[in-house]
């Protein structure tokens, strides 16, 4: 009888341990609670600072952690499950999707905004417009001085990006230059803030960064940055029209450097990553924040107005 009791006790003990292991491995987050990580380029830190704060205010048991990573590092983080959601300026390629599927992971991409790549100069620089082809020649080293751009002065032009291999760097390299390398007059610093600081202290510099860093109505820092630099108009001198990277010109397609912004979510269940993505894409919530942050929302908020026509 003692032996039977001992065996029964051991069975119950193993069962308890097994149940405890299962419970530890089970996800603890829900659509509105728990903790999740979102990886993004430095371009979108202002936007996601606001999105996270508003989401957490509405869902006090939720904690959204933002990770600043370049495109390739963000994809690797998603692949290895060190974050649930990433922000990209493109959808995953077929090869990337195949790699995820080999690990039995099926990420979903959803476009939620349109962004613009902005060019900024020193506030005392009188030359506030640039031709698209001239910018291309500047990035490839065919043009190196301001007077070659038809501007005043014979000083060298330097072009500064937020980071080497950032979203802005890749956009100019891939879209404008067809993958060609940028020349030695172009370099990266460590953040979008450093781009602004460099430009406001160097009269011969052109800074390249996301428009959200100078158009975000939520951010006092963005408003201060805009006062310390000038935003260039970009266009074609053959027709004499130049446009700045503001919402109206981005939406109508006049501004030439526009890109899509995607959320890529690896969660297939109703976890916090999915809840946060749903919040961002809701026209009456996240998309209003996108609008006020200076980007163009994909899902416009439509107000219903009842008019008395009598």
Q: Which CATH architecture has domain 34-113+260-297?
A: 3-Layer(aba) Sandwich (3.40)
What b/e sequence results for 214-238 when a residue is b if at least 16 CB atoms lie within 10 Å of its CB, and e otherwise? bbbebbeebeebbeebbbbbbbeee
Exposed / middle / buried, residue 28 (Cβ in 10 Å: 0-12, 13-18, 19+): exposed
Instruction: Please report, in tens digits, the pLDDT of each residue of the chain (310 residues total).
Output: 555 555 445 444 444 444 444 445 567 899 999 999 999 999 999 999 999 999 999 999 999 999 999 999 999 999 999 999 999 999 999 999 999 999 999 999 999 999 999 999 999 988 889 999 999 999 999 989 888 887 767 789 999 999 888 999 999 999 999 988 888 889 999 999 999 999 999 999 999 999 989 887 777 777 778 788 999 999 998 888 999 999 999 999 999 999 999 999 999 889 999 999 999 999 889 999 999 999 999 997 544 444 444 4
The domain defined by 115-258 carries CATH number 3.40.1710.10 = no
- Angle (CA) 7-8-10 rounded to 5° is 65
Q: Which residues of the chain does CATH 3.40.190.10 include?
A: 34-113+260-297, 115-258
Closest CA to 290 of 217, 188, 187: 217
Predicted pLDDT at 152: 67
Predicted pLDDT at 210: 93
Helix or strand run (H / E) with residue 105: none
Residue 236 makes CB contacts below 8 A (sequence gap 6+) with 131, 132, 133
Cα–Cα distance, 171 to 232 (Å, whole number)? 18
Predicted pLDDT at 283: 87
């Amino acid at each position: 009888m003692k032996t039977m009791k001992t065996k029964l006790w051991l069975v119950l003990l193993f069962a308890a341990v097994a149940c405890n292991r299962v419970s530890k491995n089970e996800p603890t987050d829900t659509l509105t609670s728990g903790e999740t990580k979102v990886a993004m380029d430095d371009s979108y830190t202002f936007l996601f600072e606001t999105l996270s704060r508003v989401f957490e205010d509405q869902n006090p048991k939720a904690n959204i952690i933002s990770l600043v990573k370049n495109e390739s590092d963000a994809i690797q983080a998603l692949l290895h499950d060190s974050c649930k959601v990433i922000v990209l300026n493109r959808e995953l390629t077929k090869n990337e999707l195949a790699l995820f599927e080999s690990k039995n992971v099926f990420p979903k991409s959803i476009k939620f905004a349109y962004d613009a790549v902005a060019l900024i100069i020193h506030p005392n620089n009188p030359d506030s417009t640039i031709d698209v082809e001239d910018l291309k020649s500047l990035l490839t080293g065919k043009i190196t001085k301001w007077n070659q751009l038809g501007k005043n002065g014979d000083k060298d032009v330097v072009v500064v990006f937020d980071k080497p291999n950032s979203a802005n760097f890749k956009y100019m390299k891939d879209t404008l230059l067809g993958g060609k390398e940028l020349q030695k007059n172009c370099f990266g610093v460590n953040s979008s803030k450093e781009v602004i600081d460099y430009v406001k202290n160097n009269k011969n510099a052109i800074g390249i960064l996301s428009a959200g860093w100078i158009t975000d109505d939520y951010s006092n820092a963005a408003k201060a940055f805009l006062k310390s630099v000038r935003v260039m108009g970009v266009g074609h001198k053959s027709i004499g029209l130049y446009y700045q990277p503001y919402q109206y010109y981005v939406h109508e397609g006049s501004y030439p450097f526009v890109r899509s912004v995607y959320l890529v979510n690896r969660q297939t269940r109703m976890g916090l990553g999915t809840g946060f993505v749903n919040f961002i894409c809701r026209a009456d919530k996240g998309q209003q924040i996108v609008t006020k942050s200076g980007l163009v929302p994909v899902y416009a908020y439509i107000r219903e107005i009842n008019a008395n026509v009598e």
